[in-house]
């Protein structure tokens, strides 16, 4: 009897297994028309390859181009988030150290990357500004770079001062380019606004509204931003201690990026802080993971994005566990090249796979030959350099080694023949 039952059980198990296999085969059979093609591109890849996907007209795409810390590392650039909209507009929020390389990896024409919003003036939030200013112009930006940033209690602590001094730091660089390059991209437009503005509109164009509200971080001046377009809302915190403005103005947002600092014990262990410094910096100047969770639990975004910590195999779990003591909603622990595609119905999170060995991306406009711009006087004045190229001194000119003239004449001859246009060789004097 027992044996019989055993046998029956085995038979039943066998039949059940067979039935399950049959069901799987039937399901597979039903799906066979959609089976991946061995020769066509895959229709649904769980990765983002830049410049291979159309952005829907109701869609927002956000790409993390820097998620790290003030201490530089190759694995993570410092704060930078790119927002791309279905209407064609693109906005950069913060340009921390190392982020310019991330941006160039996306191979977006630089004329489309002319709007930068800076939440505060720490190096890990503006450290790549000069690279985007000068490198971006060299890679094809043919219009001024526009920067929005807060003022502070005195002019010397404001964005306009920082940008002016950065430009002055590069006086030699800019002066040396006169007469050699199209100068339209070497111009800066600074829009400094009141850091005390509470949900104040600082940008409004083409259906896009950017607002600013105060943040609490280091000194008076830092702000957070919201960007609203087409019923979608993106919020970027820059750096801040949890504050009442963020709680109020980040409400109803789809994607909320807020700093989430390294957990205090790791600041001691990995960053070599003293315990006193770790507690002060990690919980009072910045937002501790537990506090980040509390903020998100209160504002309940469709997706919370934590950044501003080094995301390593031995530190991520601690940040996650600490956030989860206070927040159980949707969460992305950001790292460089994380991508969010946002529509009213869906938020899709993927990683981008980018080309690191990039050259200049395609140009959005026609380049002008050196010195050919009718407004070059204006642009030279903006850059703070003479209109005409500054010549070498006789001392330096006297050091030119004329023995290479012969071979370089050959290069000019080759270009003249190839392009059907005479390029006269600038003979050594
Ligand atoms: Zn900061
Ligand atoms: Zn920071």
What is the spatial distance between Cα 81 and Cα 343, in angstroms, rounded to a whole number?
Answer: 18
Question: Per the structure block, which two tokens stand in for 418?
Answer: 């190839």
For residue 97, the model assigns a pLDDT of: 97
Using a 10 angstrom Cβ sphere, with 0-12 exposed, 13-18 middle and 19 or more buried, the burial of residue 225 is: buried
User: CB–CB of 87/231 below 8 Å?
Assistant: no
Looking at residue 351, what is its pLDDT?
Answer: 98
Residue 221: nearest ligand to its CA? 1
- Grade residue 42 by pLDDT with cuts at 50, 70 and 90: confident
E strand or H helix at 202, and its extent? Answer: strand 200-205
**Ligand nearest to C-alpha 260:** 2
Query: pLDDT grade, residue 8 (50/70/90)?
Result: very low
Give residue 124 CA to ligand 1 midpoint distance, Å.
Answer: 7
CA 333 to ligand 2 center in whole angstroms: 16
Give the distance (Å) from ligand 2 centre to CA of residue 284. 13
DSSP, collapsed to helix, strand or coil, labels residue 325 as coil
Query: What's the 308 CA to ligand 1 centre distance in angstroms?
Result: 10
Beta-bridge mates of residue 227: 210, 234
Q: What is the pLDDT of residue 35?
A: 86
Q: Which ligand is nearest to the CA of 121?
A: 1
The Cα–Cα gap between 157 and 195 comes to 11
- CA of 228 from ligand 1 middle (Å) equals 24
DSSP conformational letter for 344: S
Q: How confident is residue 33, by pLDDT bands cut at 50, 70 and 90?
A: low
Q: How many A from CA of 220 to the centre of ligand 1?
A: 12
Question: How much is the pLDDT for 414?
Answer: 97
At 373 the pLDDT is 72
User: Distance between terminal CA atoms of the chain?
Assistant: 113
Give, in order, the Cα–Cα distances in Å from 259 to each of 48, 305, 364, 393.
24, 8, 34, 51
Ligand 2: centre distance to CA 66 (Å) = 11
Of 29-43, 136-150, 196-210, 401-415, the one with minimum mean pLDDT is 29-43
Residue 6 reports pLDDT greater than 60: no
Has residue 301 got a pLDDT over 70?
yes
Distance 335 CA to ligand 2 centre (A): 14
Alpha-carbon distances, residue 188 vs 32, 103, 227 (angstroms): 56, 19, 22
Give the ligand at the shortest distance from the Cα of 261: 2
3-state SS assignment for residue 194: coil
Please compute the mean of the pLDDT values over residues 243-248 and round it to a whole number: 98
Kindly state which CATH superfamily the domain 60-351 is placed in: Ribonuclease Z/Hydroxyacylglutathione hydrolase-like (3.60.15.10)
CA torsion angle 269 272 277 280 (round to 10): -50
DSSP letter at 314 equals T
Average pLDDT, the chain: 91
CA 424 to centroid of ligand 1, rounded, Å: 52
Average pLDDT value for residue range 21-26: 48
CA of 185 to the centre of ligand 2 (A): 28
Instruction: State the distance from the centre of ligand 1 to the C-alpha of 40, rounded, in angstroms.
Output: 47
Ligand 1 centroid–CA 22 distance in Å is 60
Sequence ranges of the domains in the chain: 60-351, 393-429
Token pair recorded at residue 101? 């390389």
pLDDT of residue 15: 46
The pLDDT of residue 41: 85
**C-alpha of residue 343 to centroid of ligand 1, in Å:** 30
pLDDT surpassing 60 at residue 235: yes
Cα 71 to ligand 2 centre (Å)? 10
Rounded distance from Cα 121 to ligand 1 centre (Å): 7
DSSP H helical segments within 240-388, as ranges?
A: 244-249, 264-269, 275-280, 289-299, 316-323, 376-383
Q: Average the pLDDT over each of 18-27, 166-175, 196-205, 237-246 and give the range with the smallest value.
A: 18-27
Q: How far is the CA of 125 from the centre of ligand 2 (A)?
A: 6
Ligand nearest to the CA of 69: 2
How many whole angstroms separate alpha carbon 220 and alpha carbon 222? 6
Question: 280: CA distance to ligand 1 center in Å?
Answer: 14
Residue 18 has pLDDT above 80, yes or no: no
Ligand 1 centroid distance, CA of 94 (Å):
11
pLDDT computed for residue 369 by the predictor: 77
- Measure 191 CA to ligand 2 centroid, in angstroms: 21
CA of 373 to the centre of ligand 1 (A): 39
pLDDT at residue 180, as a whole number: 83
Residue-level pLDDT at 381: 81
CA distance 134 to 271: 32
For residue 247, how far is its CA from the centre of ligand 2 (angstroms)? Answer: 20
Given pLDDT bands bounded at 50, 70 and 90, which one contains residue 24? very low
Helical spans, DSSP H, in 270-370: 275-280, 289-299, 316-323
- For residue 208, the CA-to-ligand 1 centroid distance in Å is 26
Nearest-ligand number for the alpha carbon of 96: 2
Average pLDDT over residues 356-361: 95
Q: Give the β-pairing of 208-214 and 223-229.
A: antiparallel
Residue 224, pLDDT score: 98
Instruction: Please tell me the predicted confidence (pLDDT) of residue 113.
Output: 98
pLDDT at 183: 83
- What is the spatial distance between Cα 250 and Cα 370, in angstroms, rounded to a whole number? 46
* Whether the predicted model's global pTM rises above the 0.85 cut: yes
Whether the pLDDT of residue 214 is over 80: the answer is yes
pLDDT tens for 376-418 read 787 788 778 888 888 999 999 999 999 999 999 999 999 999 9
Percent of the chain with pLDDT over 90: 81
Q: Which ligand is nearest to the CA of 79?
A: 2
Please give the average per-residue pLDDT across 127-144, as a whole number: 96
pLDDT score recorded for residue 413:
96
Output the six-digit token pair for 83: 């927002």
Pick from 173, 51, 189, 184: which is nearest to 116 by CA?
A: 189
Contact indicator for 224, 199 with CB cutoff of 8 Å: no
Q: Which of 91, 181, 138 is nearest to 363 (CA)?
A: 138
């Amino acid at each position: 009897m027992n044996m019989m039952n055993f046998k029956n059980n085995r038979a039943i198990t066998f039949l059940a297994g067979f039935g399950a296999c049959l069901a799987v085969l039937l399901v597979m059979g039903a799906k066979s028309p959609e089976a991946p093609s061995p020769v066509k591109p895959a229709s649904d890849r769980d990765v983002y390859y830049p410049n291979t996907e159309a952005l829907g007209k109701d869609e927002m795409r956000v790409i993390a181009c820097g998620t790290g810390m003030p201490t530089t590392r190759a694995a993570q650039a410092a704060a930078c988030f790119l927002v791309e909209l279905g209407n064609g507009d693109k906005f950069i929020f913060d340009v921390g150290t190392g982020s310019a390389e991330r941006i160039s990896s996306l191979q977006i024409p630089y004329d489309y990357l002319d709007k930068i919003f800076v939440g505060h003036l720490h190096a890990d939030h503006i450290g790549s500004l000069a690279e985007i200013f000068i490198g971006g112009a060299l890679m094809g930006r043919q219009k001024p770079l526009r920067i929005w940033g807060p003022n502070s209690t005195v002019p010397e602590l404001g964005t306009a001062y920082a940008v002016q001094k950065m430009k002055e730091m590069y006086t030699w660089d800019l002066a040396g380019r006169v007469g050699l390059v199209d100068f339209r991209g070497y111009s800066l437009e600074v829009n400094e606004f009141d850091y005390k503005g509470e949900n104040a509109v600082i940008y409004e164009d083409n259906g896009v509204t950017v607002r600013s509200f105060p943040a609490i971080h280091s000194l008076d001046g830092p702000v957070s931003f919201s960007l609203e377009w087409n019923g979608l809302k993106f919020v970027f915190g820059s750096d801040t201690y949890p504050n009442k403005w963020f709680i109020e103005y980040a409400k109803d947002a789809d994607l909320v990026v807020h700093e989430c600092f390294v957990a205090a014990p790791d600041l001691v262990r990995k960053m070599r802080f003293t315990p006193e410094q770790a507690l002060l910096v990690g919980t009072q100047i910045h937002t501790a993971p537990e506090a980040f969770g509390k903020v998100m639990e209160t504002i309940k975004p469709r997706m919370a994005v934590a950044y501003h910590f080094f995301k390593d195999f031995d530190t991520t779990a601690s940040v996650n566990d600490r956030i989860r003591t206070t927040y159980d909603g949707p969460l992305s622990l950001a790292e460089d090249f994380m991508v969010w595609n946002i529509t009213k119905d869906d938020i899709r999170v993927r990683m981008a796979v980018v080309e690191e060995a990039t050259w200049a991306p395609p140009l959005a406009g026609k380049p002008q030959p050196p010195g050919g711009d009718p407004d070059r006087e204006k642009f030279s004045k903006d850059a703070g350099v003479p209109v005409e190229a500054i010549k070498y001194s006789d001392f330096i000119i006297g050091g030119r080694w004329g023995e290479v003239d012969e071979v370089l004449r050959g290069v000019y001859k080759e270009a003249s023949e190839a392009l059907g246009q005479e390029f006269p060789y600038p003979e050594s004097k």
